[in-house]
Amino acid sequence: MAIATTNPTTGETLRTFEPLSDDALEDKLARAAAAAATYRRTTPAQRTEWLRDAADVLDADTDAVAELMTTEMGKTLASAKAEVGKCAAALRWYAEHGPALLEPQPCDADAVGATQAYVVHQPIGVVLAVMPWNFPLWQAMRFAAPALMAGNVGLLKHASNVPQTALYMEELFRKAGFPDDVFQTLLIGSSTIERVLRDDRVAAATLTGSAPAGQSVASIAGDALKPTVLELGGSDPFIVMPSAHLDRAAEVAVTSRNQNNGQSCIAAKRFFVHRDVAEEFTRLFTAKIADLTVGDPMDEATQIGPLATESGLEDVEKYVQDAVAKGATVLTGGKRVDRPGWFYEPTLLSGITPEMDLYAEEVFGPVAALFTVDSLDEAIEIANSHPYGLGSNLWSEDEDERAQFVRDIASGMAFINGMTTSFPELPFGGVKQSGYGRELTELGMREFMNAKTVWVGAPSSEQAEGSTAGAAAE
């Protein structure tokens, strides 16, 4: 893919960028390593001030950055503004809580024969972040805020269709006053990632993207003995039981599936509805999906914009066509929108079977798959048969069902009576082919820190006295 801004609303390429030359890349790597050597010595208090200043810069730049994201990948302007606000909130969360999270953790000194024993968490250096286009600011910020608070240095290899958002990230931290080269954007193609990751000056990597991309990065990093965090695909289950508030569940189901034009790893994609309420829920769900407004994402009235890439549109179309050819029923939607750009109708399919490609794949677009089940056991069994395990939803007022869901669902996150989302206050990540490791909270900060054990013995004079007393006793 060329490194370019192509407006998915029109299909027009607005700006192209040349990849970094070998010499330019080498210069950036050298500067990152030099920055890491000094930035790690800054205090948490200093980093806090820079993070707060970055949040203030984001606030001031909200309108311009939101328009840029909408232009590059097609999310609605309203959701783009919300994404900017979420990033500012994450910066402020780490600014507020980071210093306390970096305090030494005391251990039981007496148990290990020491006068002091504790753990300090120290930065490991330069971390490469390989990020996707769907939440171009937030995905990168989920890495950047904790990494910079920890004292690490960041290199961002962003998706090739959001280059201007990627460059803005570097500009943001520079404008906020962070030391030079603490956060740099690398305009490089995917084929150059291996070179960067194998470079001895790069200590670790984090990737959000597809399972094949995760396998590739993990393989390279494993060969080089470098840690990774992987947040990969998702096909989240959304389970509706008879005790659920059906209208509210249907409303959230529509939002969850179609957020970001259906292009979200943690979007609910498979909807399991108990047979006792299936007819009513399906009626509500279908009507609410059909009522969504598709159009220009810059228009405040628009709820669904275009897919980010033409290839993404073609993939969604193929999944739906395959399912219909094998017996699925289209309850609403099911085709491209007849207008310029890469638009697809919000779609609901029923009659899904394992023979269909979308049964075991992630459909990255506004397409929901509806299943009718006879029990929570059946819903969980089908949900867990999927290779992904990122987020999950249950709608139930029954405490036993809630406990069973939390215990048995194979996912990194379980949300009950609410939409799966991300917060700085909660760990974010998955299991199985959805990846490993966690972002956000203190866990996200410590993924790329050295937990160093410190043991301090008694002063030499005391050791000598103890040795003499022991000899006399013998």
Q: Which residues are catalytic?
A: 231, 265
Residues forming a β-bridge with 453: 119
d(CA 147, CA 50) in angstroms, rounded, equals 13
d(CA 224, CA 214): 15
Alpha carbons 377 and 447: distance in angstroms, whole number: 35
Tokens encoding 224: 């080089």
The token pair at 103 is 């305090």
Retrieve residue 302's tokens: 């628009």
Rounded Cα distance, 68 and 23, in Å? 29
DSSP states of 57-109 as a string? HHHHHHHHHHHHHHHHH---HHHHHHHHHHHHHHHHHHHHHHHHHTSPEE--T
CA quadruple 282, 285, 289, 290: dihedral sign: positive
- What's the rounded Cα separation, in Å, for the pair 269 and 256? 8
- Going by C-alpha positions, the residue among 411, 428, 370, 402 that lies closest to residue 135 is 428
Query: Is the Cβ–Cβ distance between 254 and 286 less than 8 Å?
Result: no
Angle at 158 between CA 156 and CA 159, to 5 degrees: 170
